[in-house]
Structure 1
Amino acid sequence: MVKKKLLVSAKKGKAIAGAFLLGILLASPMAHADKTKKSGSNNISKVMANDLTDSDRIFIDLREAAKKNDVAKTQQLAASLTNYPYDDYVAYFRIKPQLFDSAGGARADSSADSQVNAFLTQYQGSALADRMRNDWLLVLGKRKDWANFDAQYAKFVLDDDTQVKCYALQSRLAQGENPAKVGLDARAVLIDPRYFGQACQELVPALVGFGGMSASEAKAIGRAANEMGFDTMSRRLGGDDPIADIVKAAKTDPAKAYKDFAQVASRYSKENQAVAWGVIGQFLGKKLDSNAADAYRMQQELGYNELLSAETQEWKVRAGLRAKDWSLVKSAIEGMNPAVRNRDPAWVYWYARALKADGQDAKARENYELISDQFNFYGQLAREELGRPNHAPPRTKVSEPEIEAMTNRKGFIRAERLYAMNLRFEGNREWNWELRNMSDKQLLAAAEYAKRINLYDRVVNTADRTKQEHDFSLRYPTPYRDELSPIARQIDLNLAWAYGLIRQESRFIMNAASSVGASGLMQVMPNTAKYVAKKIGMTSYTNDQLSNTNTNLTLGSNYLNMVLMDLDGSWVLASAAYNAGPGRSKQWREKLTTPTEGAIFAETIPFNETRTYVKNVLANSTYYTTVIQGQTPSLKQRLGVISPKAANSSDLP
């Protein structure tokens, strides 16, 4: 089973990997700083459930009730938390359920206006005030109270909510702005139906009514929702779709849909033929069916690229890559919605490759240069195409006073205490808010501070943000090295690859747990752990030992080594197998008709999570090799070439 997004359950009450400073329990921030100073290095304490106060437990219960929008319970719990240090969170958790119904929808009839305004005034400039403003904007948008909406929207710092953006576009329409201009801006927002909510479902038909969007464009947005299984949303967005049955057939059995539509395509308009072939191509592509490229070629002849969903546009490129049809790759990327094309460096890299295949070397180099300063998977590949090594940039050092200054940052102090209560979501909000507007050196000082208090996920997150000055020992940290190195050495497992995988799996959060049961630094599944323990002779193993650092690293490393040997030493296949299972990795390889370069194999992995996972693990391992060994390996060489091969028998889980 594919592992899903990491989460840390507050209910378990376990210690977080990055425990908090003892000093933060003291009354003042300066006492916190003094405690750090006296110890010489940050004094760490792991908080277990029995270290929490009664008020802490009530606070955690309040947070859970607020998540469910349980008004009565939040009022009751909040009333018992007088003088609690986090009065803003108590107030927020009390007010927020009054703004939303039990299903999470904004309540236009909410009577909490005065409470919200008082909160925004009292806690102005804080992370939580921005969160409250986000919630309030959803209520104001639903009310169509555009005067107050616009006033609050101008103060919304993060501006990262798709529904709020759709309400902002509705407001512009309502105030008479040119519908064509609003429609143009809407195209950059209406990309992923998963985040549309009610606001975007109202926006699309409104744009059609005002003349800012064509009926065909609205149907295309609705079709994107249909492709993802949101049938009701699809009809609300675009009305009845002439090819709705074809979309349904393509999702169910794309090979059959391909054959059947070929028999009846002439009955449809040119536009509907084009979009139907595109949808069929997408779902064939996700099955790694060689006919995907043919379906897209038929779509390409007909045109209407702008009416293809983001998923269909992206899989058009992947189908071309899989077929080694560089002409199709080039035309697919050129026909992308700019908002889709610009959100992923993959399309810059593959466009450069297509230009190179077309003999346009100078233009190819121009495109490689666009992403050559990025440290991600495609930035590394672009540098190699330009003949440059993937070494780590020079290290920028920060001084002790610069690091010490971070100990007094209110957001960090608050975040540490929230982490101590296992409230990671809230802790991350406070930590990340504090990072806003920091210089590169300040970010590095904050990352070093996080390292000293063992908050390694914050080390990575913070160091990842620097633009010009870097410290890759922080961006790619190596905690638990004393435990992991001998394990890797004993089984001849590449240490840099193992670290690259752990960085992606858990960000070094020891008690990280996935929704499907994987746990620990290497996110090991219980059944996998039992299998590996038996294979390596760990006879007394029980699953409660997975929380032990050494046991987790031992089992995870051995399993990684097992899948590597089972998959002919390919890091690409083994990384995919670690995430999605060896069976799937083998099935994807079997679908190949000719030897295929590893980068193309990685880009055409059907599962979104696994595709991203493999690219990140391989990119991580490059820099870990630099950090650990001082070497600059070739990512292209590590990706290698994947050859078709029949599945060998294996009992690996």
Structure 2
Amino acid sequence: MRVKKYIRGLLSVACFGATAWLASGLAQAESLPANSAQDDQFLALRTAARSDDQLGAANLAARLGDYVIPSYVAYYKIKPRIRNLVAPESEIREYLTRYDGSAIADRLRNDWLIELGKAGMWSTFDEQYPLFVLNDDTQLKCFALTSRAMKGANVADEARALLTAPKDYGQGCTSLIAALMQNRQFTDNDLWVQIRQAVESGNAAVAKRMLVSTETSAAAFQQVIDKPALTLARGPGADRASHELFLIALGQAAKSSAPLAATFLTGASARLTPAEMAQGWAQIAMPAAFKLAPEVIDYWRKTDSAPLSYEAYQWKVRSSLRAGDWALVRSTIEAMPQALRSDSAWTYWLGRAYRHEGKKEAAQQQFQSIASGYGFYGQLALEELGQKITLPAGPTPSTPGDIALMAQNAGFKRALKFYDLNLRYEGIREWNWELRKMNDRQLLAAAEFARQSDVLDRMVSTSDRTRQEIDFTQRFPAPHLEMMNANTRPLSLDTAWVYGLIRQESRFIKNARSQVGASGLMQIMPATAKFVARKIGLTEFGQGQINDINTNLLLGTSYLSMVQNDLDGSEVLATAAYNAGPGRSRTWRASLTRPVEGAIFAETIPFSETRGYVKNVMSNTIYYSVLFDNGPQSLKARLGKITPKNFAESDLP
């Protein structure tokens, strides 16, 4: 009797849910008048699809039978029903056939493959996966390895190479780990590496999903995360799992106090193997590295040859750079997995380490391998080879005929339509899809078409893809130059630096708005705009003016000047402050125990966004300086040295 009541309850809930779903779908469609603009209906359709509102999407799609982008109308109609494979397979296949070769069809195939992987429908998955053109979804790569493993293939090495960034793990990757544990392609070592890596990157929920392959309860694991001191006080137990939980607890405790965690580790040394001790020091070193703690270098030196995560390898090098331990810089980079070691940053710093050890030829080889690159470390490597930064000869301009061909490109037309609708994500997807198979001449013509269409972010991005023919006027545009100079000259602010910052901030999108509310070319936060306006006496400023180009430049340059003056004129510190806030920039500087190169300071900024931001802005600035000054430039000279506040030469040991 109780079971029948339970079933009736489920049915009533289901009926209520279906009624609510029907009502929401009807409300979505009926909220727009029948004579509303098609663009408004299309935007409502997109919202319905992204909310998994099947009925609302169907009703709105029915109104848009002659809309200018039919492939997206059809996509948004079917998308809510892709989830859990509600849509019939025949309908999905018909869509993929009708829009074969388009960006949105590839997107739909991505959506479908995820659901096929979740459902374990491997026959259809294996048929469709090779047709997924972009192949940029980590979860799908995990599903593909799972499918092969279930057919008897040994994929352990491929899985280890893939599973390095837990933030990208979905169900597909945790399922892959479970499958490889079950068929014994992964060992307990592999599993605990993955669990530690997930916790280290702040993804405890991902780590918890992997616990099903251990004998550790979710409650015990959660206590390690929330109250690591309790685990450390008990010490490592007798079995493997308790040792691993002790190591994880060290990392958690080190977030509050690395010295305290170090005390617990030292106290447990008699019950841990040398390999576990080394891993324990690595667990402590990572949180200490993020805090730029001076004692972190001692922790890293005790890690010996412990296997590290990709992030830990990089922070071991960064801490070594700050401490001036070039031997540890070299040995750590040499121990990196090849995929990580080949990054231009570590190629450059390995070259510097070799040179410091007197290995001039080995250093030159490292620098030469990246000196042709146009980014931060390519520029620095060029200078290490004794050359200044200049511009190559520009290419032959695109002809009107070349540009006319781009104007006829259907994907570009869709992209521009999306830009008009302020749907930049869709616009970028359509635009970039068309660039995949273009040669340099076609890319330059596409970039020029973007310039003429006033979508400068696409111009910059497109021109950045060329390899042999380089047009720096496309890559580094300087719109509104007269207006810019009128704002920078009274402040004695370097115009090249401001353009370098804008290129990174907004890519010259005039109405750009970030997720946190920053606006305009210089991406100014509302509170900052109000503060600066008051400081400079702009008495009639209103938030509605923030996207006005001249007002945005006035406020942005004024703020940048204030920040630079507060930080002793350092462009590196001021650039970091513009992105992360002056307080953080001052804190990072205060953590220095000695002067360091500007490049070392930039590389060791704890925030990954700010770290990349500073390097990109300073690299951009150099190219703008070359363009404006029409002469060679030095990035190393511009970066200079970053010293602790009020530092004097007499402070040196």
TM-score of the pair, normalised by structure 2: 0.87
The answer for the alignment partner of 2:28 in structure 1 is none
Q: Choose from 304, 307, 315 the match for 2:306.
A: 304
CA distance in 1, matches of 2:608, 2:260: 24
The answer for the alignment partner of 2:202 in structure 1 is 229
Q: Percent identity?
A: 47
Q: Choose from 59, 64, 87 the match for 2:42.
A: 59
Greater Cα offset, 605-614 or 628-637: 628-637
Does residue 245 of the first structure (1) align with residue 249 of the second (2)? yes
The answer for the alignment partner of 1:45 in structure 2 is none
Deviations 1:377-412 (A, max 9, x none): 001001100112211221112222212221111111
CA distance in 1, matches of 2:270, 2:555: 57
The answer for the alignment partner of 2:93 in structure 1 is 117
Greater Cα offset, 633-642 or 61-70: 61-70
CA drift of 1:266 comes to 3.5
Does residue 218 of the first structure (1) align with residue 222 of the second (2)? no
Alignment of 1:263-282 (within 5 A): 263-282=267-286
Deviations 1:505-554 (A, max 9, x none): 00111111122221110011111112211221211112221011100000
CA drift of 1:646 comes to 5.8
Asked if the contact 1:352/1:368 (under 8 Å) is kept, the reply is yes
CA distance in 2, matches of 1:489, 1:232: 52
Alignment of 1:490-505 (within 5 A): 490-505=490-505
Q: Which amino acid aligns with 2:61?
A: A
The answer for the alignment partner of 2:614 in structure 1 is 614
Q: Which amino acid aligns with 1:128?
A: I
CA drift of 1:566 comes to 1.1
Q: Choose from 175, 185, 192 the match for 1:202.
A: 175
The answer for the alignment partner of 1:452 in structure 2 is 452
The answer for the alignment partner of 2:385 in structure 1 is 386
Asked if the contact 1:595/1:641 (under 8 Å) is kept, the reply is yes
Alpha carbon RMSD of aligned pairs, Å? 1.6
Q: Which amino acid aligns with 1:322?
A: R
Number of aligned residue pairs: give it. Answer: 581
CA drift of 1:456 comes to 0.5
Asked if the contact 2:589/2:645 (under 8 Å) is kept, the reply is yes
Q: Which amino acid aligns with 1:116?
A: I
CA distance in 1, matches of 2:176, 2:344: 29
The answer for the alignment partner of 1:154 in structure 2 is 130
Alignment of 1:94-493 (within 5 A): 94-100=77-83, 107=84, 109-177=85-153, 179=154, 182-237=155-210, 239=214, 240=216, 241-242=244-245, 243-300=247-304, 303-305=305-307, 308-342=308-342, 344-397=343-396, 398-493=398-493
CA distance in 2, matches of 1:223, 1:437: 40
Deviations 1:455-487 (A, max 9, x none): 000011100101111101100111121211211
Change beyond 3 A, Cα 1:266–1:499: farther
The answer for the alignment partner of 1:558 in structure 2 is 558
CA distance in 1, matches of 2:395, 2:103: 29
The answer for the alignment partner of 1:592 in structure 2 is 592
Asked if the contact 1:390/1:633 (under 8 Å) is kept, the reply is yes
CA distance in 1, matches of 2:368, 2:186: 36
Q: Secondary structure at the match of 1:513?
A: coil
CA drift of 1:176 comes to 1.4
CA drift of 1:73 comes to 2.0
Greater Cα offset, 262-271 or 428-437: 262-271
CA distance in 2, matches of 1:615, 1:255: 32
CA distance in 1, matches of 2:425, 2:130: 25
Q: Which amino acid aligns with 2:254?
A: A
Q: Secondary structure at the match of 1:631?
A: coil
**Larger CA Rg, structure 1 vs 2:** 2
The answer for the alignment partner of 2:69 in structure 1 is 86
Asked if the contact 1:219/1:237 (under 8 Å) is kept, the reply is no
CA distance in 2, matches of 1:158, 1:351: 33
CA distance in 1, matches of 2:36, 2:406: 27
Q: Secondary structure at the match of 2:252?
A: helix
The answer for the alignment partner of 1:534 in structure 2 is 534
Deviations 1:543-596 (A, max 9, x none): 221011100000001111111111111111010011111111111111100111
Asked if the contact 1:484/1:553 (under 8 Å) is kept, the reply is yes
Q: Secondary structure at the match of 1:96?
A: helix
The answer for the alignment partner of 1:72 in structure 2 is 55
Asked if the contact 1:279/1:312 (under 8 Å) is kept, the reply is no
Q: Which amino acid aligns with 1:271?
A: A
Asked if the contact 1:406/1:446 (under 8 Å) is kept, the reply is yes
Greater Cα offset, 614-623 or 533-542: 533-542
CA distance in 2, matches of 1:168, 1:631: 52
CA distance in 2, matches of 1:199, 1:269: 34
Deviations 1:77-126 (A, max 9, x none): 222222212111011111111122xxxxxx2x534322211110000000
Change beyond 3 A, Cα 1:146–1:550: same
CA distance in 1, matches of 2:354, 2:205: 41
Change beyond 3 A, Cα 1:544–1:253: farther
The answer for the alignment partner of 2:579 in structure 1 is 579
Change beyond 3 A, Cα 1:537–1:260: same
Q: Which amino acid aligns with 1:353?
A: R
TM-score of the pair, normalised by structure 1: 0.87
CA drift of 1:310 comes to 1.6
Q: Secondary structure at the match of 1:633?
A: coil
CA distance in 2, matches of 1:479, 1:80: 41
The answer for the alignment partner of 2:8 in structure 1 is none
Q: Secondary structure at the match of 1:497?
A: helix
CA distance in 1, matches of 2:393, 2:269: 59
CA drift of 1:489 comes to 1.5
Greater Cα offset, 224-233 or 322-331: 224-233
User: RCO higher in 1 or 2 (8 Å CA, sep ≥ 6)?
Assistant: 1
Asked if the contact 2:145/2:176 (under 8 Å) is kept, the reply is yes
CA drift of 1:74 comes to 1.4
Q: Which amino acid aligns with 1:618?
A: M
Q: Which amino acid aligns with 1:304?
A: A
CA drift of 1:53 comes to 6.3
Q: Which amino acid aligns with 1:175?
A: K
The answer for the alignment partner of 1:546 in structure 2 is 546
CA distance in 2, matches of 1:588, 1:113: 55
Q: Secondary structure at the match of 2:140?
A: helix
Asked if the contact 1:440/1:466 (under 8 Å) is kept, the reply is yes
